[in-house]
Amino acid sequence: MIVAIENGRRQLGPGVVFYCERLEVPEGAHIALWGPSGCGKSTLLNILSGLLRADSGAVIVDGMDLQTLNEGQLDRFRGEHLGFVFQTFNLLAPFTALQNVMLGMRFSDTIPAKEWKPRATALLERVGLKHRLHSKPNTMSVGEQQRVAIARALANRQKLIVADEPTGSLDPKTSKTVMDLLLEMCQEQKVTLLLVTHDRAIADRLPMQFDCSGLVKEETA
Amino acid sequence: MSLWHIAWSYLWNRKLTTVLTIVSVALAVALISSVLTLREETRKRFEEEGQAFDLVVGAKGSPLQLVLSSVYFMDTPTGNIPYTEFEHLKNDAEYVKAAFPINMGDSYQGFRIIGTIPELFGHKWVSPVSGEERAPFQLAQGRYFETSFQAVLGALVARQTGLKPGDTFVSTHGFIAGLPEGLGGHSHANMPYTVVGIMKPSSSPYDRAIFCSLESVWQAHQHGPGEHHEEHGQEHAEENEGEHAHHHEGAAEEEEAAYQEWSARPESMVTAVLLQLQSPALRFQYREIIREQTSVMAAIPINEIATFYDQFLGTAKLILLAVGYLVVVISALSILIGLYLSILQRKRDMAIMRALGASSYEIFGSVLIEAFWVTVLGIAAGWLAGGLVSFGLGQYLAWRFGLAITAFGITNEHIAAFSAVALVGLLAGILPAWQAYHSDVAHDLADR
């Protein structure tokens, strides 16, 4: 299993708790974490990516027990093991498409510095943005920005991509194109995909689904 | 893609704010830098010229006024002393190595006409500042004066007035600067001077002086302007018509005779006597001797200037530096506010970088580097602007007082001041950097 959480629990507020009894994801699987807004799917994703800590329980990702890592180790873990694709793309405005992808490699030691540029260029060419290498995000369409984000998520040869509503800001046509590309790239790179969505139709495109309904609940005394 | 590059990219991404912050730092640094430069450079130049003579002797009054008027040609003289005092001092070989009388009273277009003896042109001394020999009376064109109403111009006088050897000009009574010929005090219209030489630039007060013989000044002022000028003027007018030729033939003998005649008159006075002693160590002793044994006053130029700097300019410097450092604090606040607001706007960017694997330390460092860039660029721009201000004021000082200064110098005081500014700038970056360091990544990423 590349991802496993067991009895993961986190207090979200007074009387509100996140609790996930068990989730196991085999290496190379593509799984949709779906459910209505506020059900706890993003909290689950944040705990699995080390952005939030569980108060208790076991969280194992790519063989690492995230509960035992300190902040610095978690930062390094994210850089080396995880690729993120966000709903709002989250490209860094001062940098070009090429630089945004290179930044994905800058903060980990996975790829030697001399390979940053050729690898970033190859990835952007692969997602169809050969002509946009030196464009800033604010000059690109939303579809192009999300393709840059996908290239960045794969920059460090990560084994796991976490995508939080990756098509949430896109029109239906662009949404389909981006989803096709994401699935294709994950398939091609043999990467495990955890995709958070509230859209059942999108969830159904993935071979595995995990229903997040009820992960966040009122705590009973 | 280093943290320096990342920090620079964020600064470049908000150019206007960055430039304004840099400008505010630069203004503070320019003020501090120019105050330090001007203070240090003018002090050096004043001290250099102050060492030209060991003592200056003149009429009783303010010693500083005597020094400023006689050595720097900046103030009105304290009065006149009998010519016999000069002779008495000159002959005191036990203490005095050389004595040079100077006589003032007239000017041309604001430049003082200094009556003196030709021996002054051979005067040299070693600068305590540069350690080099100073010889400011070297000719660029023509020759030194030999007879009355022949003038040797300082380099600045020649440049400003356009006079060249062979030209004539008419002096004006008094030292009213900047007025055209004929305005200000009454003119000695019938006693024109003839330019015979122009000196090389010396970056000293002598650049803005016109030198002539002592008797030229005596002759010009011996009688009331109405009576003497007319009769004497007639002589000069005739002289001009005669192309000065006959005057120059056997002039030395005639002049010597005239000099003897004028200097022998009991009413002949000089404005001051500049003394070079047998040793600078005798300055205090000989000043006391003059004070006790004569009715005139002696002042040590370098001491008067040092006191002037400490008491007056020292306070002015402190006030200006205080203002400068106050502006530094305000600039530091603008760095702090600018960076803090930038961090608030970029919380999501910071969170993205953390998600990409950046450590808290790298985020902290990149923000601190932004503060560093702003501060260092502000210091560099400020030093340049301060240099330009010093250059501009230096031009004025050169024109007004004949003191040329180096505008773009860096002293230990500059380095200390710039280090203080850099430290304050970095301190201003710490709070925003700390804010970035402690960001809540998951919260900031979710904050849409």
Same domain, yes or no, for B293 and B218?
yes
| Residue in A closest to B439 by C-alpha | A51
Q: Is B9 on the interface with A (CB under 8 A)?
A: yes
Residue B124 lies in a domain: yes
Q: Do residues B244 and B149 share a domain?
A: yes
Residue B50 belongs to some domain of the structure: no
> A62-109, pLDDT tens digit by residue?
888 988 998 888 888 888 888 888 888 888 889 999 999 998 888 888
CA-CA distances (angstroms) from residue A42 to A52, A69, A147, A149? 10, 21, 21, 18
Same domain, B199 and B341: no
Which chain A residue has its CA at the smallest distance from B348's CA? A90
| B352 interfaces chain A, CB cutoff of 8 Å | yes
- pLDDT of chain B, 448 residues: tens digit per residue: 788 999 898 888 888 888 888 888 888 888 888 888 887 887 777 777 778 889 999 998 899 999 988 888 887 888 889 988 898 999 988 999 999 999 987 888 888 999 999 999 998 888 776 777 888 899 999 999 998 899 999 999 999 899 999 999 988 876 655 445 445 556 666 788 999 999 998 888 889 899 999 888 888 776 433 333 333 433 333 334 334 444 444 555 666 666 666 665 656 789 999 999 998 899 999 999 998 888 899 999 988 888 887 777 777 778 777 877 787 777 777 777 777 777 777 778 888 888 888 888 888 888 889 888 888 998 999 999 989 988 888 888 777 766 777 778 788 888 988 888 888 888 888 888 887 787 777 778 776 5
Q: What CA–CA distance (Å, rounded) separates B8 from B2?
A: 10
Same structural domain for residues B82 and B183?
yes
Give the residue from B299, B321, B353 where a domain finishes.
B299
List CB contacts (< 8 A) between A93 and chain B. 13, 349
Q: Is B32 found in the same domain as B66?
A: no
Same domain flag for B83 and B224: yes
Identify the residue among B348, B350, B356, B441 best suited for mutation to test binding to A, counting A beta carbons within 10 A and taking the highest: B356
Among candidates A86, A87, A107 on the partner chain, residue whose Cβ is nearest the Cβ of B358? A107
Q: Give the Cα separation of A36 and A40 in Å (integer).
A: 9
Instruction: Specify if B426 maps to a domain.
Output: yes
Residue B9 falls inside a structural domain: yes
Mutant choice from A88, A107, A157 vs B, greatest count of B C-beta within 10 A? A107
Q: Is B117 inside any structural domain?
A: yes
Domain boundary among B241, B275, B299: B299
Domain containing B375 equals 3-45+309-446
Q: Within a domain: residue B324?
A: yes
Residues of B in contact with A107 (CB under 8 A): 353, 356-359, 362
In a domain, B304, yes or no: no
The verdict on B232 and B196 lying in the same domain is yes
Q: What is the 3-state secondary structure (H, E, C) of chain B?
A: CCHHHHHHHHHHHCHHHHHHHHHHHHHHHHHHHHHHHHHHHHHHHHHHHHCCCCEEEECCCCHHHHHHHHCCCCCCCCCCEEHHHHHHHHCCCCCEEEEEEEEEEEEECCEEEEEECHHHHHCCEECCCCCCEECCCCEEEECCCCCCCEEEECHHHHHHHCCCCCCEECCEECCCCCCCCCCCCCECCCCCEEEEEEECCCCCHHHHEEEEEHHHHHHHHCCCCCCHHHHHHHHHHHHHHCCCHHHHCCHHHHHHHHHHHHHHCCCCEECEEEEEECCHHHHHHHHHHHHHHCCCEEECHHHHHHHHHHHHHHHHHHHHHHHHHHHHHHHHHHHHHHHHHHHHHCHHHHHHHHHCCCCHHHHHHHHHHHHHHHHHHHHHHHHHHHHHHHHHHHHHHHHHHCCCCCCCCCCHHHHHHHHHHHHHHHHHHHHHHHHHHCCCHHHHHHCC
pLDDT digits (tens, 9 = 90+) for B168-202: 998 887 665 544 544 555 666 678 899 999 999 88
Task: List the one residue out of B418, B416, B390 whose CA is nearest residue B404.
Answer: B390
Q: Do residue B220 and residue B88 come from a single domain?
A: yes
Last residue of a domain, one of B256, B274, B299: B299
On whether both B79 and B167 belong to a single domain, the answer is: yes
| Contact (CB<8Å) A49/B355 | yes
Q: Looking at the structure, do residues B207 and B256 belong to the same domain, yes or no?
A: yes
Q: Which residue from A minimizes the CA distance to B350?
A: A92
B140 and B195 part of one domain: yes
Q: Nearest C-alpha of chain A: how many angstroms from B434? A: 16
Chain A residues in contact with B355 by the CB 8 A cut-off are 49, 51, 78, 84, 90
The reply to whether residue A95 touches residue B9, judged by beta carbons under 8 angstroms, is yes
- From chain A, pick out residues whose CB is under 8 angstroms from the CB of B361: 72
In a domain, B205, yes or no: yes
Number of domains in chain B: 2
A103–B356: do the CB atoms touch at under 8 Å? yes
- Whether residues B124 and B230 fall in one domain: yes
